[in-house]
A and B are shown apart, each in its own frame.
Chain A
Amino acid sequence: MTEVKNAVASGRESLKKRMQSILVLHGYGETAYHLPVSFALTGIDVRDRASSQDAYLRASNNPIIAAECLLSEKTGREGKEPSPYTGFIGDTVLRKLGYSLVDGSILGLALVIGTPANEGSAAGICRELQEKYMLTFLAGGVVPALQQSGVKLGLEYRLIPLGSTGAHGVHFTDIIARVAMMFGGVTPGDTARFLKYAAERAKAIVIVFPGLTDEEIAVVDAMRVLGFPIISLGDYRGEGWVEAPPEHAVRQGMEAKGIRVTVTAIPIPMGCSPAFEGKSIRKEEMYVEFGSGRSTAFELLTMRNVGEIQDGQVTVIGPEIDAMKEGSANPLGIIVEVAGRSMKKDYEPVLERRIHNFVNYGEGSWHVAQRDLIWVRISKEAVAKGVKITHIGKLLASKFRMDFPQLLDAVSVTLITDEKKVLAARKDAETVYEERDARIKGMRDEDVDTYYSCTLCQTFAPNHVCVITPERPALCGAISWLDGKIAYEISPAGANQPVKKGTLLNARNGEFDGVNRFVKKASHGEIDRCSLYSVMEYPMTCCGCFECVALMLPEVNGIMVVNREFKGVTPSGMTFSTLAGTIGGGAQTPGFAGISKNYILSDRFLQGDGGIERLVWIPSALKEELKDRLQKKLIGQGHPGLFEKIADETLATTIEELTAFLERAKHPSLTMKPLV
């Protein structure tokens, strides 16, 4: 076991000494970037002894600069190494390599350096790098080792032998330096920008076999500054050097650098496409089913730390489908574990809901409901084609990775079909559900400092800006605060953007200076103020997708709500569609607001206008739909009996009838502060 620290110290010393020995430098033809690392780091075009000393000094005796100068000097003296070694790679070839990197046809760059203890391990690592679309550069004893195992080398195989010694590994950094200057707009000498580019954009990893000289170790260690993970195959111990067994080296290196392999195909014997989503599987078409009271079934998605789970792993615990009787109901637990650098616990329920869509995408699989209420069927046709329980797992693992490439690095799925184990696992899942419910239920607008916008509808309502808060879902009812947050994480340039609340201007109306600023900008300067909880003063703009319209009825000093499904004329004298046509299109219309159904149940509903006691009329169907939850809410807020005082079309269809009804019912709105 080599201590890196000691080796680096001695390597640096020896490099420093040798730097003094440089007399003549030839540099390389085929490049406009001189000695690229020196040029990128210091801006000095090294061409002779003096300038090499200058650059070395300027870069605080950086071992990479020393190695670069020394190798150049040596190449000038001795000429290039014979084939297969490439030596310094010219700009023309490099431009093409850089192209593939930006283009995504290669995912990243790897340097494999040193001499493997046995030939096979190098071959295995290189094959894995090839499979994962990495462009691999080789330096040192690894090259003959690969040749002896019959591995083909060359650009077309994405395995490039730089040179016969570890010292040739420095070409790896001159490649990165030139990519930064060619593609990244890095100005030579702008050290900070170069380091930033190398760390954030270069997607490079280094895998180290034993057998390096101290100088070579010093050079490899210096690459840590460029943000390359250094994966050591066991022979080195040092700060920032990650030790890994050969079978995990590539995965760990790529994970550490955040290089993701995109999943494009799903290896299962049935079609998988949104086109199958609406296809139901009837009883007579079904081979087996799970859940819906006929058997125990549940689903759960939880997050794990990166490295805790293995991507794509699918485990079935219990009998497979061929051990199940045709037409039978069986227990099933679907457990999806996900990991990703930007994954957060809050996202679990939102991702969990996607299990429903994904299972339905399968040509012969069908899914309804959620959590421990799920009902899953697999068709006879699918089973005949060879579909097994494990394929449902494969489908889920692949689809999650395909649909959330930015968010998830690894997905593994466990499917339990053993009755006892399902019951036990369900118990754990139920604890998780409860925790989640408590968390979401408890989430109040004041608990967060950021809301989310939605400007999806600006296509037809150019100045509309929806502001989504934990207690006020989007007016279309389709996007919650959490949905907005995740949509932003997944697509940071998308239609859902974070809105910093800023300073509270008016607590009652829910007006914040940050929200106002955002709305002003996103509405192209049209809307100056936005109160989140008021219909009367600076209400939110309306696109056209709102589930309901809330509007003031000045005659009765109250506010009515009508939902899209209600076709009749409301006591305001207008139908839903007349109202929608008048207030939609992105305008702000005091006295009128587009809202979601669920917002009626929010504590924030009508807060700015005097609270839920203002609610005087809603269509009977909506009233019925909300009945249980609304009644509970009203009682909770200290308004028992208010529910019965809220009119609907069976009680009042005109403003006159409504006034009479509310007077009879002694509705509180009549005696409240005048709205207008």
Chain B
Amino acid sequence: MGSDIRFGWTGAIGSVILGATRSEGGTRKISYRVGGGTTLPFLDHAPASSPLVALEICDEPQYWPQIVRNYCGDLVDDVSAWATTAETVYGADLIRLYLTSTRQRNFSDIPLVGKAVEEVLSATGLPLIIEGSNEPGIDSEVFQKCGEAGEGERLLLGTAEAGRYRSIAAAALAYNHSIIAQSPIDINLAKQLNILLREIGIQQDHIMIDPYTGTLGYGFEYSYSAMERIRFSALKGDADLAMPMICSAIDSLTIKEVREADTAYQDEMAVAWEFYAGLAAAVAGAEIICVRHPKTVGRLKKAFTSLKTGSDPTGRI
């Protein structure tokens, strides 16, 4: 079945390599080639890759959703242990480290940033996504430090925006990392940013598009369509949009529906919200789905397995 549909695509999604094993010059246990699709998601007969699930963690938990702090307990105070658990217990494919410590007022302890990255690198063998500073004033130093600390590891660095991409691009160029290019739910702005990045020297196979994801009920439909359109244009041959996409509906755990849910099933609500958004985003074209609730990780991975055409009997319908 399926051989009956013809879309007449002329393009394909490019790929980005994340993580480097010892033989590739890094210290990761595994590296991934993300992207490479040649048609709509999950319709490839021999899919190049399945979407990956990243668990988001941070180095300063006061800025993290209460619900994760409740669920994980003391773990959130120890970023290394958190990273190890994400790999060994929660089963994440990737870890996305938010350097939330940089959000503290007048933050200036730049070496701390490098230390956090190094600690997480040694605590896990998974490829890393690093979210740098939230404050333009310290971007330059923070990204330099992140890039340097992860040299050779082929990190994915976040997040470049139209008005703010130079430091992150510099870190990617200097230390051979890839970057997340985020634009506010608009295909043309996404394209524009990719062109700006190309002009500064970033190769196409070092960019992942983040079209920005509003969570379910909070603009998710816009993000969903933006992702569908980006994938569509890329397949139609627009090389400036032919990068794999990353999605993180980060508000999922702080919206009213989840925040105000009865404590008895608050976790379940959180997971449902992340899961439904994450699955739909993958169907729209996202190749890395980022979540914060540990329980969402396994569920999404199982669903993606079943989506790889009929390969897993446990996913039977």
Contacts and interface: CB of A to CB of B under 8 A. Distances in A.
B229 A103 contact: no
B27 interface: no
A104 interface: yes
A51 interface: no
Interface in A76-124: 95-96, 98-105
A182 interface: yes
Nearest to B175: A95
Contact of A99 (B147, B200, B233): B147
Interface string A165-208: 00000000000000000111100000000000000010000000
Contact of A493 (B143, B175, B195, B201): B195
Interface in B182-233: 185-188, 191-192, 195-196, 199-201, 203, 229, 232-233
B195 A102 contact: no
A99 B144 contact: yes
Given A100-B140, A462-B229, A494 B186 contact: no
Given A493-B196, A494-B192, A95 B233 contact: no
Contacts of A462: 187, 229
Interface string A501-534: 0000000000000000000000011000000000
Contact of A100 (B170, B195, B203): B170
B174 A102 contact: yes
Nearest to B176: A182
Contact of A458 (B166, B174, B188, B236): B188
Nearest to A494: B192
A102 B196 contact: no
Q: State the main secondary structure of chain B at its contact with A.
A: helix
Contacts of A226: none
Nearest to A201: B201
A455 B200 CA distance: 24
A671 interface: no
Contact of B203 (A101, A103, A104, A185): A185
Interface residues of A, number: 26
A102 B186 contact: no
A102 B191 contact: no
Given A102-B200, A103-B166, A459-B188, A183 B174 contact: yes
B79 interface: no
Contacts of A105: 140, 167
A495 interface: yes
A524 B196 contact: no
Contact of B144 (A96, A494, A524): A96
A491 B203 CA distance: 21
B232 A524 contact: yes
Contacts of B144: 96, 99, 103
B236 A524 contact: yes
Interface in A214-229: none
A607 to B, nearest CB: 31
B173 interface: yes
A631 to B, nearest CB: 41
- Taking each of A103, A105, A182, A455, which has the highest tally of chain B beta carbons within 10 Å of its own beta carbon? A103
Contacts of A495: 188, 192
Interface string B123-167: 000000000000000011001100100000000000000000011
Interface string B230-247: 001100100000000000
Contact of A98 (B174, B196, B232): B174
Contacts of B233: 524
Contacts of B173: 98-99, 102, 182-183
Contacts of A525: 236
Contacts of B169: 102-103
Given A183-B201, A185-B201, A99 B188 contact: no
B187 A458 contact: yes
B171 interface: yes
A103 B201 CA distance: 12
A103 B192 contact: no
Contacts of A494: 192
Contacts of B203: 185
A624 to B, nearest CB: 38
Contacts of A102: 166, 169-170, 173-174, 200-201
Nearest to A456: B188
A642 to B, nearest CB: 42
A486 B187 CA distance: 22
B232 A182 contact: no
Contacts of A524: 232-233, 236
Contacts of B196: 493
A494 B173 CA distance: 24
Nearest to B171: A99
A316 to B, nearest CB: 34
A676 B140 CA distance: 64
Given A98-B174, A458-B188, A103 B167 contact: yes
Contacts of B170: 98-103
A490 B166 CA distance: 18
B187 A99 contact: no
A405 B232 CA distance: 34
A184 B201 contact: yes
A459 B229 CA distance: 10
A612 to B, nearest CB: 35
A95 B174 contact: yes
Contacts of B139: 103
A462 B188 CA distance: 10
Interface string A452-486: 00011011001000000000000000000000000
Given A98-B174, A184-B201, 10 more contacts: A98-B170, A99-B173, A102-B173, A103-B171, A455-B188, A459-B186, A459-B187, A459-B188, A493-B196, A524-B233
20 contacts: A98-B170, A98-B173, A98-B174, A99-B147, A99-B170, A100-B140, A102-B173, A103-B140, A103-B166, A103-B167, A105-B167, A182-B173, A183-B173, A455-B188, A456-B188, A459-B187, A493-B195, A493-B196, A495-B192, A524-B232
Minimum-distance CB pairs A-B, first 5: A102-B170, A103-B170, A493-B195, A104-B166, A99-B170
Interface of A: 95-96, 98-105, 182-185, 201, 455-456, 458-459, 462, 491, 493-495, 524-525
